[in-house]
Structure formats: structure tokens, C-alpha cells
Amino acid sequence: MSYIRSGALAETGYVLLDRYDQSRDPEEWLDLEYVDWRSSGVTRFAPLTSAFGELECDGFWNHTPPRTDKDGVWVRRNAERAPRLRSRAEEPGVNIGRCRVIELQPNSYASALRNQHQDDNNRLNPDGSGWIVRAFFNLSDDRESVLVLREDRADPSTESRIPLPAGTQVIVDTQRLWHAVWHVGTAPRYCLITSWESGPLLDAYIERHHGTSRVESAPVDARLQADAQAELERRLEERARATRRSTARTRKGARRSTGIAPG
Ligand SMILES: [Fe+2]
């Protein structure tokens, strides 16, 4: 057995859909209740769903009983204030896990590289079911900002930078790709992020919205990129050294407790 995955995401790990006309909709995200929740920068989140419909953002696997990122329960007081956002999340007709609006304060390219992470959407997801991916719908108009995606966190040649004007719709296998947003500007960025289960319904939705798996990366100043990359490499090396030191300490402790002499 293995997971059901979307062929559209196989090549690059992401797919960009037709741009949505965000200007027609009310700015529902400004009416939501946000909670402080740090993730990849200075952020707050307004949950539209959560594990049990409470106004909180924890991974469903951290609840009792723990479960995977599916079957999100609508948080009434936010979902009622954002009917357009809810209907956009429901449009493909697939299982929805976490669904929330992120508010991100401006940051730098270097901090975006530092903030790169992979998600844990498929923890406890039973083999044979649909692989969970995440939709990013940019709500505010952030045309100078980019979603930074890397196949290999440390390798800039694997990077894609997707520009984020209002209405950008991108689906990402966030458990495969390292990701973070470089948000340029003075006002916060708002984006609807929804966990969706892969399967034929999601494939049909991607096709209806003309999904494309290759986007020309937004340009970045070469000097700025080199400096940010050097800082990232320094940090990764520091972290690797700290891990080696702590592994060595653990081994030494184990030898002492078992009485095994070094070979
Ligand atoms: Fe993430």
C-alpha cells in the first residue's frame, strides 16, 4: 500500500492555479479572531477549523485522541464571519484538515531562509489514504513578496520563488518541500492555508483551475541572495556541530552506564 497522491504535484511538489479575483470579495480576514501562534516568523493565526472547533491552532496529533490532519471541525465564530473563505476551502469537495488565515509581519530574505521548514501533515495518516497537501490563497496584495520553496533546504539551485499578488492560489506538498515566505512591505500579509486530502476530486479541481507545476521564479538580488545563503549555511553548520556534541555526550553516558569500554 502507499498513499494516493496527486500527479500534478509529482514533478516539482507544487502547482500554481489560475489567479482568483480577490478584489470582488469583502476582506473577511480582517473580521476574524486571531490567536498568537508563532510559526516561521512573527505570526498570528485565525483558525477556521481546528481539531474540535475551539479557537486554537495546535496540530490534530497533539490532541486526545491524536489524529492526522483531516476532519477539521469548523470554528463557528470565525467560519461564520468568513463565508467566502469557507466556501473556497470547500470548493474541491475533499477532506479538510486545518484551515486558517495566517497573518505574517514583514521579514527579510535571510529570515525566510532561516524559517524554512517542512510540515508534518501526514503524521498518523493511514497508508492507502490520500496524502495531505496544503493550499495557499494569498488574500492581501503582496506582489513584492514570495513563497520560497526548496527541495533541499541548503541548496539554492533547488529554489522556486512564487510571487504573491492578491488572488495567488498555490497548492504545495509541504511535507516534501522546505518552505517559508519572504514578506516585503510594511503591512502584514494574510493568506488562507488549508490542508486538503489528495485524490481524484483534488485532481479534478487542479485541472479545472489550470494547474501548472513550473513557475518562473521572481528575481532576487544576487548579492542579497549570496549573503542570506552564507548566513543559512553558517547556522546549519552550527546546528550540526551542536547535534554532534550532544550525540557524543549521550554515547559517553551510555558507555558509562553499560560499562562498555570504547573499542
Ligand atoms: Fe508550513
Distance separating alpha carbons of residues 97 and 50, to the nearest angstrom:
8
| Cα 117 to middle of ligand 1, angstroms | 6
Residue 256 has pLDDT above 90, yes or no: no
Residue 261 has pLDDT above 80, yes or no: no
| Cα 251 to middle of ligand 1, angstroms | 33
| Cα 174 to middle of ligand 1, angstroms | 6
Q: What pLDDT is attached to residue 263?
A: 43
Is the whole model's pTM more than 0.85, yes or no?
Answer: yes
Please give the mean pLDDT across all residues of the chain. Answer: 94
Average pLDDT, stretch 214-241? 95
Give the closest residue to 37 by CA, choosing from 45, 27, 46.
45
| Cα 170 to middle of ligand 1, angstroms | 13
Is pLDDT larger for residue 182 or for residue 256?
182
Confidence of residue 262 (pLDDT cuts 50, 70, 90): very low
| Cα 146 to middle of ligand 1, angstroms | 14
| Cα 66 to middle of ligand 1, angstroms | 20
| Cα 191 to middle of ligand 1, angstroms | 12
Residue 59's contacts (CB-CB under 8 Å, 6 or more residues apart) are 69, 98, 120, 123
| Cα 63 to middle of ligand 1, angstroms | 19
| Cα 182 to middle of ligand 1, angstroms | 13
CB 58 within 8 A of CB 120: no
Residue 247 has pLDDT above 60, yes or no: yes
CB 69 within 8 A of CB 232: no
Q: What pLDDT is attached to residue 259?
A: 47
| Cα 178 to middle of ligand 1, angstroms | 8
| Cα 244 to middle of ligand 1, angstroms | 27
Looking at residue 230, its amino acid is A
